[in-house]
Amino acid sequence: MQQMHELLRKQVDISDEDWQLFSSRFEQKIYPPKTFYLKAGETENYLTFVDSGLLRFYVEDKEGNETTIGFSFEGWFMSIFSSFYTRKPSMCYGETLTETHTWRMHYDDLQEMYRRLSIVERIGRLATEQLLLLKSERELSFLLKSAEERYLDLFQKAPYLLQQVPLKYLASYIGVTPQALSRIRKRIS
């Protein structure tokens, strides 16, 4: 919980009183490795802070092929936002890659916090802006950059992912086969 408090204090001036009320609505949840955080068809009910661990988000086509669409890691908020905000079933899966310790707040509690604390509404707006920027950057990278450039961007922005995530998931995330990613890695090393 301390890590979340430090992150929020870097972004906003949250008083101790507001922090106490806001943080009291979180519950701790620990997931073993290779566990579903959420399955497609389920509705996302939680805004979650990852205290430690690593998760992967993916979609699956009708033939069972998976495409990784994102990762969440220590020190960051996460949710399958399309389901969380629309209250509709998710089309994505969320899966832990390692043992993952989280703090999570139910949707209803977050809505109450938005109503009661203006600082929480500001936190929500800032988080939404950051998420939109990340999604926009990823979308543009698929339109404007080569697979090798996308890999190098990932290597520069999140080198720890390259050490902790199986290559097949990284390949899927940047839109190539594992074999193509192996060739890219050989070329640039």
> Average pLDDT of the chain?
94
Question: Three-state DSSP class for 97?
Answer: coil
Residue extents of the structural domains in the chain:
2-131, 145-189
Write out pLDDT tens, residues 29-44: 999 999 999 999 999 9
What pLDDT is recorded for position 76? 87
pLDDT for 157 = 87
Q: What CATH number should be reported for the domain whose range is 2-131?
A: 2.60.120.10
Find the angle CA(151)-CA(152)-CA(153) to the nearest 5 degrees.
90
For the entire predicted model, the pTM comes to 0.90
pLDDT over 90 at 183, yes or no: yes
Of 71, 134, 81, 72, the closest CA to residue 110 belongs to 81
For 94-139, write each residue's pLDDT tens digit: 999 999 999 999 999 999 999 999 999 999 898 889 888 989 999 9
- Under 8 Å CB-to-CB from 58, ≥6 apart: which residues? 66, 67, 68, 69, 92, 93, 95, 169, 172
pLDDT grade for 26, boundaries at 50, 70 and 90: very high
